[in-house]
Amino acid sequence: MYKMYGDKLFFEIPSLSDDQYRRWAELLEHRLGVIVPKERKLFLQSKIWSRMRELGYVDYDEYWKFVNSGIEGNLEWSQLVDRLTVHETSFFRHQPSFDLVAEDLGEKFVSQQKPFRYKVWSVSCATGEEPYSLAMMLHTLCRQAEGDVNYGITATDVSSPAVAIAKQGVYSSDKLINIEASYHSHISKLNDEMFVIKEYIKRRLAFGVFNLLDVNKPSNIKYDVIYCQNVLMYFDRSVRQRILNGLVNYLNTRGLLILGQTEINAWAHQKMTRVDRSRTLAFRLK
Ligand SMILES: C[S@@+](CC[C@H](N)C(=O)[O-])C[C@H]1O[C@@H](n2cnc3c(N)ncnc32)[C@H](O)[C@@H]1O
């Protein structure tokens, strides 16, 4: 594993053989629905290796056995998932989609019997910026409606370490740049480097670990909005369709399903109509 380059000794990560790559890629596809194409073999190799080194493993097959063994293996799997998934996110990442939620709340406020509770599900919340953005906006709007409407947000992700970070609601100050000044009243500065989401906002969120591959299991929970952005792109087409078909069952009457703009082409569902709004990709339950 150590190699000389000139007069220097370097550590070289051992290669995943084609067979080993195939096994790991199949495990990821089977458990997460995530596709790791051959061109990303080096990415897979470096992520698995860095986790193996933390635990003292030097053999991919030994580590494979560990991940696939009983309860300890399941716990280890949740750590590995965190390394293998991309958690890139930001506050108010796609403003036109937030505007659509605000508009939907306004319409439902007029048409629904009051008081009512507006329920939103952020299905791949990563480290929490997306659901807290929704919460800050909804909190402000509900306050303007003077108590006749309330909101609640369910925020889930397959990565338990990401969800643990989200629950804390502590972020570095450079992220403030994406939060407009009128929402700064919903956060407290901890020091020059960090801020925290205020408790009254946090109380409106319920965080949990959820694998989108399980979306077709029976459930009676319904939401007014399902916010599903920047996650479908990691799945292949048939899995995306299956996930979206499953999410439809979680929508309330006239519920909105809001996706990332380029996440799927030509998805259609007999119960859903496309929302005609520029720079967004959204569907409404008929
Ligand atoms: C790029 S982040 C998107 C975060 C946020 N939705 C946004 O748009 O900013 C993708 C997230 O999808 C999650 N993810 C990947 N596979 C998943 C699965 N099978 N079920 C649920 N979440 C998944 C990852 O853990 C990651 O946090």
Ligand 1 close to Cβ of residue 230 (< 6 A): yes
Q: Is the dihedral of CA 55, 56, 59, 62 positive or negative?
A: negative
Print the SS3 string covering 145-194. CCCCEEEEEEEEECCHHHHHHHHHCEEEHHHHHHCCHHHHHHEEECCCCE
Ligand 1 centroid to Cα of residue 86, in Å, is 7
DSSP state of 235: B
- Asked whether the beta carbons of 196 and 187 are under 8 A apart, the reply is yes
pLDDT value for 266: 83
The separation between CA 39 and the C-alpha centre of its own chain, rounded to angstroms, equals 24
Ligand 1 site, residue 42, Cβ cutoff 6 A:
no
Report pLDDT for 3. 65
Q: Which residues pair with 227 in a beta bridge?
A: 122, 258
Q: Rounded to whole angstroms, how far apart are CA atoms 150 and 116?
A: 6
User: How far is it, in rounded angstroms, from Cα 153 to Cα 164?
Assistant: 16
Q: Count CB-CB contacts under 10 A for residue 281.
A: 22
Report the distance separating Cα 194 and Cα 170, nearest Å: 7
With a 6 Å cutoff on the Cβ, whether 133 touches ligand 1 is: no
Task: State residue 242 phi and psi, 5-degree precision.
Answer: -65, -45
Distance of CA 225 to the CA centre of its chain: 15
Q: Specify the 3-state DSSP secondary structure of 5.
A: strand
Distance CA(131)–CA(125), nearest Å, equals 6
Query: Which domains does the chain carry?
Result: 2-84 (1.10.155.10), 95-285 (3.40.50.150)
Spatial contact of 179 and 187, defined as CB atoms under 8 Å apart: yes
Selection from 161, 156, 167 nearest residue 78 by Cα = 161
Hey, which residues does 205 pair with through a beta bridge? 153
Alpha carbons 166 and 123: distance in angstroms, whole number = 13
Residue-wise pLDDT tens digits, 230-248: 999 889 889 999 999 999 9
Its pTM surpasses 0.75: yes
pLDDT of residue 225: 98
Write the DSSP symbol of residue 263.
Answer: S
82 Cα nearest atom in ligand 1: 25
pLDDT of residue 205: 98
Q: For the CA atoms of the chain, what is the radius of gyration?
A: 21
Whether ligand 1 lies within 6 angstroms of the CB of 160 is answered as: no
Which two structure tokens, joined as six digits, stand for 286? 């008929």
Q: Which atom of ligand 1 is nearest to the CA of 260?
A: 8
pLDDT less than 70: residues of the chain = 1-5, 9-11
Atom number of ligand 1 nearest to Cα 89: 9
Q: What is the pLDDT of residues 120-135, one digit of tens each?
A: 999 999 999 999 999 9
- Asked if residue 139 lies in contact with residue 227, where contact means CB atoms within 8 angstroms, the answer is no
Residue labelled with tokens 């409106």: 204
Measure the CA angle with vertex 186, ends 185 and 189; round to 5°: 80
